[in-house]
Homo-oligomer: A and B are copies of this chain.
C-alpha cells in the first residue's frame, strides 16, 4: 500500500456498468515526509474519504478485495484514512 492525499474527484457517466455507484477520487502519492512525489491514481473510495485527507491505497488485484470493488474492474482503492505515522520513533503526520 502507499500513502496518498485526496486531491479531487472524477465524474464519468458513460462507463462500464460494474462501476455503478463508485466514488472516484484523484489521489496524489506522498512520501514518508508527507510531500507530494509527483504521481497520481484515480481510486475507488471504500471508506468515505474526502478531499485533503491522507489515505492508504492499494493497487492491482488487491484493490478488488473490498466490498465495493470485488469482481469489478478496479485497480486502485482507498482502504483507510490515516491517523498518524511515525518514522524512527518520530511522528511525521497526525490527522
Contact = CB atoms under 8 A, between A and B. Distances in A.
Q: What's the number of copies of this chain in the assembled complex?
A: 5
B79 A26 contact: no
A74 B58 contact: yes
A92 to B, nearest CB: 7
A87 to B, nearest CB: 4
Contact of A12 (B31, B56, B77): B56
Contacts of A1: 24, 41-43, 74-76
Given A7-B87, A81-B12, A42 B26 contact: no
B72 A65 contact: yes
Interface of A: 1-3, 7-19, 24, 26, 28, 31-32, 40-43, 46-48, 51, 56, 58-67, 71-77, 79-89, 92
